[in-house]
Structure 1
Amino acid sequence: MELRRAWVGAVTGVVGFSVAWTGALPAAAASGRTAVGQGCVVATGPHQHPVEKLLRLRADGSQSLKDCQAIQAFQRREGLKPANGYASRATLHMLTVATARKNPNAGGRCPVRKRRVACVDLARQLMWVQRGRKVVYGTVPIRSGRAGLETRKGWHTVFRKKRDDISTLYDNAPMPHSQYFSRGQAIHGSLSNLFSGPGSAGCVNLRPGDAARLYKVLQVGDAVVVFGRKPR
C-alpha cells in the first residue's frame, strides 16, 4: 500500500529534519532522462539536505553533479540499488546507519551489561548487539512496526528461535531466522524491500543476510532492549 508519510531523522550530532516521502522517484529521476555521467541523476531528492550534511557536502538542499557523484559513491559502497546519486529514503537510512557504526551507543540509550544485549533503536531505525561496551554485531538497518502495530518498547528476552519460520497471521509470509522476544514479535529477515512502506506488523525486520548473521550471535535468554520513537 502506498502511503504518504514523513520521515523525521534523528541522527546523533545532526539537526533534525522532516520531509514528505511518497515512496517513489519523480518521473524524471525514475526515467533517467536527467541523468548525466555514469547514470548520475541530477534531480534533487526528497532527503537532499540531510544527505548532503551527513556526507559533509555543501548542504544547500539542491542537487549538483558533485553531490550526485558523492551520493552515488556511497550507494555503491553500501550496495544500494539503484546507485544513481539520488538522495532517496534508502540512502538517508543507510547514511544514518553508517554514521552510527563507529559508536552506535554514543547517546547511552542502550544499557551496558556484561552479557549480550541486542539494542533496537526505533528513532534511527537500526540495531546492534553489545557485550559490555564492545559491539559484537552490527550496526544494521531495521524496519520496525508501523502505526497501530508498533514494536513493543522496553526490556525483553529472546525466548524462541526458529531458522525457517512463516507468519500464521499474514499469508504465510516467510520469516527467516526468527528470534522471538515479545509474544509474537520477533527479529527476523524480510524478503521485501526494507526501505519501503510504512513499517512491519510489529516485528523487527532485517535484510536476509543481516538476519542470518544475527541468528548466530544471539541465544535464547539474551536481552533485547527496544527504545526510542519511530519517525512518522
Structure 2
Amino acid sequence: MMTNAQITYPVGSTDWMLLLARHASGTRIRPSPLAVFLGGVGRLLHLMVSEKSSSDPIASTADATMQREFMQRFQDMIVPHLDAAYNFARFLSRDADAAQDIVQEAFLRAYRNFETYRGGDPRAWLFAIVRNCCHVWRKQDRRKARFEQPMGNDGYADPDEGGEYQIASEEDSPETETIRRSEQQRVRAVISRLPEAMREILVLRELEDLSYRQIAEIIDAPIGTVMSRLARARRDFGEAWDACNKSETAG
C-alpha cells in the first residue's frame, strides 16, 4: 500500500490517492445476500467431495481421513478469501450476478486443482483462477442483457443491494459515517469506469495490496509491465476522480 511519501500528485489534483488508500478495505463489495452465496459455494464443494467418495466406495473408506484433511486444508487456506475473490470478479465483470457465477466456477476449479497449489499467497493463486474464469465468461457472452450493469442508480454501488463492506468505528458520528460511505461509493464508481486492464491492476495493488511480483503472476505479464500499467491506472483514476469532483461542483 502506498505511503504519503510515495504519492506524486498531478497538477491541480485533489487528495484522491489518499482517499483511495484510506478506503481500500471499505471498497470491498460483498455478494447479496452473503449467506446464500456462501451456502451455494459450500454445497458445490460438498457435492464434489460426495462424487469423489461415491465413485469408489472401497477406496473412499480407506482414504476418508486424507479426504477430510484435504477438505480442511482447502477450507482453511482458500475459503477465507471468498470476499476478496468476489470483489475482484465484481470489478472485472461490473455485473453482480455474473460475479457470483464466476466465483462459484473459480472455487470449483480451485478445489479440483488444489493439489497443484505449491505454496505462496493462496489469495493470489485464487485471483489467477478468478481472472481466467472471468475471461471464459466474457468469451461465452454471458453478459447478454446484463452487459455493463451499473453499480447503482448514479453509478455507485447500492448498499441496500449488499454492495457495501463497511468497517465502522464506534467513535464515528453519523455525519462522518455518511461521508465515509459516500466516498467509498465514489471510489468504487470511479474504478468501475476505467478500462478492464486498469481496473484489475488498481484493485489488485491498491485494494488488495498485492506485490508487483504477485500481480505479474496473476496477469501473466513482466513486472515492468505491471509497474507501467499501474502508473497509468493511478493517473487515469486521478483524472476521473478530479472530473467527478468538478462535475459535482458545477452541478
Give the shorter-chain TM-score range: under 0.3
Larger helix percent: 2
TM-score, normalised with respect to structure 1: 0.26
Which structure has the larger Rg?
2
TM-score, normalised with respect to structure 2: 0.25
